[in-house]
Copies of this chain bind each other. A is one copy, B any other.
Amino acid sequence: MKQYVFGADVGGTTVKLGLFTTEGELLDKWEIPTHKEENGRYILSDVADSIQDKMKEKTIEKDQVEGVGIGVPGPVKEDGTVLGCVNLGWDERNVERDMEKLIGLPVKAGNDANMAALGEMWQGGGKGFRSIVMVTLGTGVGGGIIQNGKMIYGTNGAGGEIGHICVDETETESCNCGNKGCLEQYTSATGVSRLARRALASCDTPSVLRNSDDLSAKAVFDAAKEGDGLAVSLVEKHGKILGKALATIACVSDPEAFVIGGGVSKAGDILIDAIAKYYRQYAFHACKDAKFTLASLGNDAGIYGCAEAILTK
């Protein structure tokens, strides 16, 4: 194994970059803007230039580098094909091949949520496990399924798209994906706010949330920590919907651990405890002892995962 590996997590605004040792130590991280002009045609060459500049700066030779992992905000197939990436202006293209031509190093591409899962398994909340399900509770709900250290990409790059499991077919509002009743409509940060608004409108129960301008997920979990009854019931509901969905996922991939990340996960133990409680209620007996942990790499999970993706290519 060579000495270094690079990770590049391409977002809609910035590209996060990281230089790692192949043992998993982050030596340097930096960002460059994502140039979306002309259908994002400069994004990959910007990334290649930035990595080559860093190699010069650190006097790293090509033959010391294992390769470059690259995460993108869209579906990626195992062969490196990105099936369109609206945020970046990309149509279908093979990012691995294109990037390899630009940089002359092995490249591995993956969906950003899947890359984050791989990163958390390598050096974060999932460290020590080889088969995890990562759940990212942010604006939406992302997921990543890692099986024996390898990502499940899926036929259409939709492996781990757990935010779009239908959990309530009586839902009347639509999810961004076009379906109704998706997991992310209830358990993402925006989902928690939506449920809080609904709960307040449907009852007269006194609550600190009632006269607040802030119905964010953070406000709901904070109120629950203070013992606010309505907020506690919302946290229970969140735990039940998510815990039951994770019990379903366990009947498919039977992971060692679930790693919970994203902004909502900052709520900490109160969140994990509610999810785990309902998970154990609904899980198949063989899977009941799966572990629950919090993600620990924050916004760096992506670059870690990109680096690990090259090492497990």
Contacts and interface: CB of A to CB of B under 8 A. Distances in A.
B253 A253 contact: yes
Number of chain copies forming the complex: 2
A128 to B, nearest CB: 13
A251 B155 contact: no
Interface stretch (A24-32, A220-228, A284-292): A284-292
B248 A155 contact: no
Q: Which of A148, A247, A251, A282 has the most CB of B within 10 A?
A: A251
Contact of A286 (B131, B143, B158): B158
Given A152-B254, A157-B254, A157-B286, 6 more contacts: A83-B286, A156-B287, A158-B250, A158-B286, A162-B251, A166-B247
Q: Which of A153, A154, A155, A156 has the most CB of B within 10 A?
A: A155
A304 to B, nearest CB: 23
A160 interface: yes
A258 to B, nearest CB: 12
A289 B177 CA distance: 16
A156 B288 CA distance: 10
Contacts of A147: 147, 152
Nearest to A289: B156
A253 B145 contact: yes
Interface of A: 75, 78, 83, 131, 143, 145, 147-148, 152-166, 169, 177-179, 244, 247-256, 282, 284-287, 289-290
A282 to B, nearest CB: 5
B253 A161 contact: no
A308 B233 CA distance: 50
A160 B287 contact: no
Contact of A148 (B78, B253, B285): B78
Given A157-B254, A253-B253, A248 B166 contact: yes
Nearest to A129: B155
Nearest to A148: B78
B247 A178 contact: no
Q: Which of A156, A160, A162 has the most CB of B within 10 A?
A: A156
Contact of A284 (B158, B256, B287): B158
Contacts of A290: 155
B158 A287 contact: yes
Contacts of A162: 251-252
A159 B244 contact: no
A286 B248 contact: no
